[in-house]
Every structure is written in structure tokens, then in C-alpha cells.
Amino acid sequence: MKSLRLASVLSLVAAAVLVFAPHRAAAQDGNGAVFAMTNAASNNQINAYARREDGTLEYSGAFLTGGNGSGGTLDPLHSQGSLTLTADHRLLFAVNAGSGTISSFAVRGAQLTLIDTVPTGGGFPTSVAQVGSLLYVLNAGGNGSVSGFRLLPNGQLLPIPHSTRSLGNSPSAPTDVVLSPSGQFLAVIESSTNKIAVFHVFPNGTLSNPVVSDSAGTVPFAAVFAPDGALIVGNVENNKTVSSTISSYQIDWDGSLHVISNALPTGGSATCWDVIGQFGRSVYTSNPNNSTLSGFKIERNGELTPIGDGVVAQTPTGSTNIDIAASEDGRYLYTLNGATGTIGIFAVQDEGSLVNLGQQDGLPASAGINGIAAY
């Protein structure tokens, strides 16, 4: 009798725990995933996280790239696009700056399978751009160069003969390479010269000589293409007493740039990374020096207008939010916080503002992590 009474009490306690325990949706493959690169100087690897229905993350595993990163402390790659997903999120590409190689992975949910690791045709690769079967790598070593690859159906990378192009005869500190949605133009951001180089992509994957234009803001850093083809660039600005800025451009038929939005203030400091959100209707920037995120609506003509006063979220002070990614459904943003070794999690509201959902820890703090991708 006593045991029956005890069993009844335990059943009631268990029921109460089920009722009052905070609900957290289980992570499932169909909810998406987030990937972050350690950039370790030995045995570079990708940490994978399954995305729960509520946007929070669950650690899935670590996957070796087959190469070495650069190591270092905070933002040693000084780039955007070091970790890149295909639009259908079936393949993931990672640079190995220390080895001069790029790795391709098959993606299944939050699980990765290494397919290929190949030389990039230059030194210190830091950024990857991919559209369709074309993939280009930015090699930031020396004066900088770009090299092209044909993406095979099985995920292997085949170098495109004669596709390597130099960025000039002097160091330009290139920070990002991006392909237009049509695959017709390849743009490279040159932060130390305040220039943007645009290459025409020929049908065989080789590149024209670059058309080089002045940046609308100083120290341009990261670029993204809006779905309609507008090129959007975040500018650090070299005057620390003013806000960083963001600009948008139309690429003319000859590769020259026509300014649409001319260096709008982000309200943040050291704006260095950006991502398209809300199904192509907005762009967000990560501003590590004052631990903020900024947001802008993208009009049909590529013009940018601030969401609210521009600053839409705050990350913990000192987190050094060095990169940013968006979920495929446009509902969540994720920041790579280099100083604390965490991933910041934000829910995107209908009007474009962000709600902080907390952080996912487990990455090495101040140890050179670079690159984040999500779907």
C-alpha cells in the first residue's frame, strides 16, 4: 500500500515537471542549421548546430576540413565569406588559410561529410563566392588574386584553366568576393585602396580584366548582392569619430558602378559584415566596436532606408560580433562573437527589428574563430 502511495506521488511530481518545465522545441533537420569555423592553425574544423523551431541551437558535432586555418586571436582572416553555403544548402565551402586550400562538404541537416579539399591557386584564401556551378576564391596573400572552379554535381571542385586574376601590382587588403545573382559579374572589395573591382564572368568561367571603381565610403569591407542585383557594401570608415556607413550600387553593363545609396550612417562602429534578410527585402550589418547590429530596408531600385533609427539590436558588450548569417526562412539572425566564443541568436520581427534570444556557447574565445553560415 505504501509503495502504491509513493508511486502516485511520484507520478504527480513527474506530471508537474512536464507541465511547468519551460518549453523548448526539439532540434530537427527540417528546422535548419548553423555552422561556425574554428579557423584553428592545426586541424581546422566546422562546428555544427541544429536549429530548433524557436531559433535556438543544439550542438550537433565538429567536422574536420582536411586543412589548417590561420589561427590568431580576433578576426585574423579579416574577411567575409570564409564559410559559404549553396543556395539549396546542400553543400558548404570552407577556406583553409594556413594550407592554401578550400574544402567542400555535403550537408544533411546539421551533419557534414567532407567531399574535397583542393589548392586555391594562391596564398591565404579568405573568402568564397558561389552561384550555380561557378565558385571563386579570394586569395588575400601578396597583392591578392581570385581563382575560379567548376562545381561538379558530386560536390568536387575542378579548377578552371586560366581563371586566376591578380588584383593589381600593390597590396590592396582584399576582404570579400561576391558573385551577382546571374553569375555575370564578380566583385572584389579592396579595403586599403577604397576600391571595388568588378570582373565580367565569361561563359567558360574565366574572367575579364577588372573594372575598378571608387567606393562611396572609406575602408569598404563586406559586400552582398540583393536578389534584384544591387550590390550592397558596408564601410568601416577610417574616422573613428563618425559612424560607419553602408552603400548600394548598380553594376552597369561594362562593370562600372553607379551609386544608389551613398554611404548612409549605420549608427554602428566598425561595420564590417552584412547579410541579406527577410527574403531579400532587408540587409543587416554587424558592428563589433560598439556591439550592435543595424538594419536597412532594400527598396525595389536598390535604395536603402534605415529600419527605425538604424540600430536594431545590441550584443553583449565586449562580444566582438565579427560575422553574421541569416536563416533561410528569414526569421532568425546569428552573429559570431569572437571575443566570447559564442553565437548570438536574434529573432527577426515583421517590421525588421530584432529580439535577442540569447547565445550559444562552446566555441573557443579570442582564438581566431572566423566564418558563420546558416540556413
3-state SS of 75-96?
Answer: CCCCCCCCEEECCCCCEEEEEE
pLDDT of residue 242: 80
Which residue has cell 581563382? 147
DSSP states along 42-82? SS-EEEEEEEBTTS-EEEEEEEE-SS-----SSSSS--S-S
Query: Residues 238-284: pLDDT tens digits?
Result: 876 689 999 999 999 999 999 999 999 999 999 999 999 988 999 99
For residues 363 and 36, what is the distance between their CA atoms, to the nearest angstrom?
Answer: 9
Residue with cell 564601410: 235
Residue 216 and residue 97: Cα distance in Å, rounded? 29
Q: What is the mean pLDDT of the chain?
A: 92
Q: What phi and psi values does residue 117 have, to the nearest 5 degrees?
A: -135, 120
**Which among 11-25, 100-114, 163-177 has the top mean pLDDT?**
100-114
Residue 222 confidence class, pLDDT cut points 50, 70, 90: very high
Confidence of residue 11 (pLDDT cuts 50, 70, 90): very low
Burial track 222-237 (b if 16+ CB lie within 10 A, e otherwise): bbbbbeeebbbbbbbb
Beta-carbon count within 10 A of 123 CB: 13
Question: Looking at the predicted structure, is the pLDDT value of residue 206 above 50?
Answer: yes
pLDDT value at position 171?
A: 87
Beta bridge partners of 234: 222, 246
Q: What is the pLDDT of residue 30?
A: 77
Q: Which three cell numbers stand for residue 293?
A: 547590429
Q: How many CA atoms lie within 13 A of 126 on its CB side?
A: 29
pLDDT of residue 17 exceeding 50, the answer is no
Percent above pLDDT 70 for the chain: 92
- pLDDT band at residue 78 under the 50/70/90 scheme: very high
Q: What's the confidence (pLDDT) of residue 225?
A: 98
Q: Residue 370 gets which letter from DSSP?
A: -
Domains and CATH numbers, the chain: 25-374 (2.130.10.10)
- Residue 101 neighbours by CB under 8 Å, 6+ apart: 66, 67, 95, 117, 118, 119, 120, 125
Torsion of CA 169, 166, 102, 135, to 10 degrees: 150
Cα 175 to Cα 98: distance, rounded to the nearest angstrom: 16
- The answer on pLDDT for 121 being more than 70 is yes
What integer pLDDT is reported at residue 261 of this predicted model? 98
Note the pLDDT of residue 15: 36
C-alpha cell at 221: 569591407
Provide the pLDDT confidence category of residue 6 given band limits of 50, 70 and 90.
Answer: very low
CB 41 within 8 A of CB 67: no
* Distance of alpha carbon 346 from alpha carbon 316, whole angstroms: 13
Q: Please, are residues 155 and 116 in contact by the beta-carbon 8 Å criterion?
A: yes
Q: How many Å apart are CA 254 and CA 17, to the nearest integer?
A: 66
**CB 59, CB 47: distance < 8 Å:** yes
Q: For residue 26, what pLDDT is reported?
A: 56
Query: So what's the pLDDT on residue 16?
Result: 34
Q: Which amino acid is at 175?
A: T
Which cell is 35 given? 555552422
What is the per-residue pLDDT for 193?
Answer: 95
d(CA 220, CA 234): 6
pLDDT for the residue 29 = 61
Per residue in 324-343, pLDDT (tens digit) is: 999 999 999 999 999 999 99
| Per-residue pLDDT band at 169 (split at 50, 70, 90) | confident
